[in-house]
Every structure is written in structure tokens, then in C-alpha cells.
Amino acid sequence: MENCIFCKIANGEIPSATLYEDDDFRVILDLGPASKGHSLILPKSHAANIYELPDELAAKAMVLAKKIAGTLTDGLHCDGLNIIQNNGEVAGQTVFHFHMHLIPRYAGQKVGLTWTPGTLSEEDKQEILGLFA
């Protein structure tokens, strides 16, 4: 995909701080980290978002996330870790090449990932359950 910065990074055309690489993925440090160790899992083939990501890569991405999360947690002694994946501008996506954020969390250090809980209405519940019936 021409002019996709994450395609270029994932395929090594643009240098990055690479933590891990295999045939399908590159894992890099985020240039604007939310916390120490904030990393991004990038597939080497272009998919704009989760809707476009092939099932096989989706499955591999989660296994890889587990591996990287373990190494970050053991090495940085973080107290927890968020895995975030944004799809669409309205959801906060700014680079339109699928990626997963791994964000180590440290006790006492605030990272703004929270939302205000709403209430689940009966109408919404029935509508959504109906999608999967």
C-alpha cells in the first residue's frame, strides 16, 4: 500500500525501534508513548483495520501480543498492561494500518484510557442480542 507509513515501517523501508520481527509482523516502540514500553504490533501486509485483517493474521496477532506483553512485563516490572486497538477515526485511529497498542501500566501513573459507564437499556440489549441470534 503506497504512502502508508506503517507499511513502510513494518517492511523496514523506514527505520524504527524494532523489538521483534518475523515473516508476518514487526513490533516497534511507539514514538509518542503513553507510558514506558508502549509498543505497537504491525502486520507486514496492509489491512486498514480489524475488518480487513485476515483471520489467520488476527489469530497470530493475539498470540504475539501475549508474548510481547510477557516480555515487557517481566523486563519493565510494570504492574499491568493494556492492549488497545482502534478502528476508525471516531474510535481514535490516526494511522489507517491495523495495529495493536501494548501499553504497560505502572501503579500511581495515570494514563487516560477510561470512559464514563452508562446503563444498558432493555431496548439496546434486545437489539444487540438479536444480531447474534
Whether 42 contacts 27, CB under 8 Å: yes
SS3 label, residue 51: coil
Q: How far apart are CA 6 and CA 99, in angstroms?
A: 9
- Say which entry of ligand AMP, Zn ion, none residue 46 contacts (CB below 5 to 8 A, set by partner kind): Zn ion
Q: How far apart are CA 25 and CA 44, in angstroms?
A: 5
CB 42, min distance to ligand AMP, A: 9
Q: Which residues bind ligand AMP (CB under 6 A)?
A: 5, 16, 28, 30-32, 40, 86, 92-95
- The residue to which cell 516502540 is assigned: 29
Measured from the CB atom, the residue of 13 and 56 that comes closer to Zn ion is 13
Measured from the CB atom, the residue of 17 and 128 that comes closer to ligand AMP is 17
Residue 1 interacts with Zn ion (CB under 5 A)?
yes
- Say which entry of ligand AMP, Zn ion, none residue 95 contacts (CB below 5 to 8 A, set by partner kind): ligand AMP
Q: Tell me if residue 99 is catalytic.
A: yes
Q: Which run of H or E residues covers position 71? A: helix 55-76
Grid coordinates in use for 51? Answer: 475488518
Catalytic (active-site) positions: 99
